């Protein structure tokens, strides 16, 4: 059953982290927005935004030592597909003001209909994309 309760426990930690950032910093844990804030740099928010992103990387560095399987790709993608994926994720999350965390977790948690629409759209398009491309791009193992 760990197949289900690990995702549930991980999800609970994500929700907890979003609440921590609100409790201590008074800010929404939207990762694409925080990343863009760091890119803009000029704002007086940059210092905590950089720290938050460093926290994400630190978690990855530490957990990769302990449970490298958690970073198993399991699929293969050509370089240009990864680049295209990164470009559209970066551009799209900024055009739509949020990603899985900002709209999907924080937005849905406050019952924002704007975030609900965004979440349904990106999930829907992602599902269609996988249905149309996954076999072509390669299912991996």
Partner 1 sequence: MKRFFGPTSFTALLAGVVFGIGLTLSGMTQPAKVIGFLDLFGNWDPSLAFVMGGAVIVHALTRPLVLRRTQPIAAASFRLPNLTAIDGRLVAGASLFGLGWGLVGICPGPGIVGLGSGDSYFLVFFPAMLVGMLIHGRLAARPSPSAEPGA
Site for partner 1 in 2-31 (CB under 8 A): 3-31
Question: What's the closest the beta carbon of residue 80 comes to partner 1, in angstroms?
Answer: 10
Residue ranges in 72-131 that form contacts with partner 1 under rule CB under 8 A:
72-75, 77, 79, 81-114, 117-119, 121-131
Distance CA 124, CA 132 (A): 12
Question: What's the closest the beta carbon of residue 12 comes to partner 1, in angstroms?
Answer: 4
Question: What's the closest the beta carbon of residue 24 comes to partner 1, in angstroms?
Answer: 4
Q: Is 136 in the site for partner 1 (CB under 8 A)?
A: no
Which of these, 126, 117, 108, 113, lies nearest to 28 by C-alpha position? 108
Residue ranges in 52-71 that form contacts with partner 1 under rule CB under 8 A:
52-64, 67-68, 70-71
The conformation of residue 43, written as its DSSP 8-state character, comes to: S
Query: Which residue stretches of the chain are H helix?
Result: 2-25, 31-40, 46-66, 79-95, 108-109, 113-137
Question: Are the beta carbons of 1 and 8 closer than 8 angstroms?
Answer: no
The site that binds partner 1 (CB under 8 A) totals a number of residues, namely: 120
């Amino acid at each position: 059953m760990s197949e289900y309760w690990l995702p549930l426990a991980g999800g609970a930690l994500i929700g907890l982290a979003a609440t921590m950032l609100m409790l201590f910093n008074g800010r929404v844990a939207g990762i694409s927005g925080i990343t863009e804030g760091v890119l803009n740099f000029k704002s007086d928010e940059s210092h905590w935004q950089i720290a938050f992103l460093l926290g994400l990387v630190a978690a990855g560095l530490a957990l990769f030592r302990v449970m490298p399987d958690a970073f198993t790709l399991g699929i293969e993608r050509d370089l240009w597909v990864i680049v295209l994926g990164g470009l559209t994720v970066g551009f799209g999350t900024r055009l739509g003001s949020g990603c899985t965390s900002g709209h999907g977790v924080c937005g849905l948690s406050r019952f924002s209909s704007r975030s609900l629409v965004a979440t349904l759209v990106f999930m829907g398009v992602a599902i269609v994309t996988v249905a149309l491309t996954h076999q072509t791009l390669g299912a991996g193992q």
